[in-house]
Chains A and B, each alone.
Chain A
Amino acid sequence: DGGITQSPKYLFRKEGQNVTLSCEQNLNHDAMYWYRQDPGQGLRLIYYSQIVNDFQKGDIAEGYSVSREKKESFPLTVTSAQKNPTAFYLCASSRGSNNYGYTFGSGTRLTVV
Chain B
Amino acid sequence: AQTVTQSQPEMSVQEAETVTLSCTYDTSESNYYLFWYKQPPSRQMILVIRQEAYKQQNATENRFSVNFQKAAKSFSLKISDSQLGDTAMYFCAFMKSPFQGAQKLVFGQGTRLTINP
- Residues of chain B at interface, number, CB under 8 A: 30
Q: Mark B60-103, 1 if CB is under 8 A from A, else 0.
A: 00000000000000000000000000000001010101111111
Contacts of B109 in A (CB 8 A): 40-42
Residue ranges of B at the interface with A (Cβ–Cβ < 8 Å)? 4, 6, 9, 33, 35, 37, 42-45, 47, 50, 52, 91, 93, 95, 97-110
From A42, A48, A100, A106, B110 is in contact (CB under 8 Å) with A42
Name the prevailing secondary structure of the A interface residues: strand
The total of interchain contacts (Cβ-Cβ below 8 angstroms) comes to 76
Interface residues of A (CB under 8 A from B): 30-33, 35, 40-45, 48-51, 56, 58, 88, 90, 92, 94, 96-102, 104, 106-107
Q: How far is the CB of A96 from chain B (nearest CB, A)?
A: 6
Asked whether A96 lies within 8 Å of B47 as measured between CB atoms, the reply is no
From B35, B37, B99, B101, contact of A31 by CB (8 A): B101
Instruction: Flag if B107 contacts A106 (CB, 8 Å).
Output: no
The answer on a CB contact under 8 Å between B47 and A43 is no
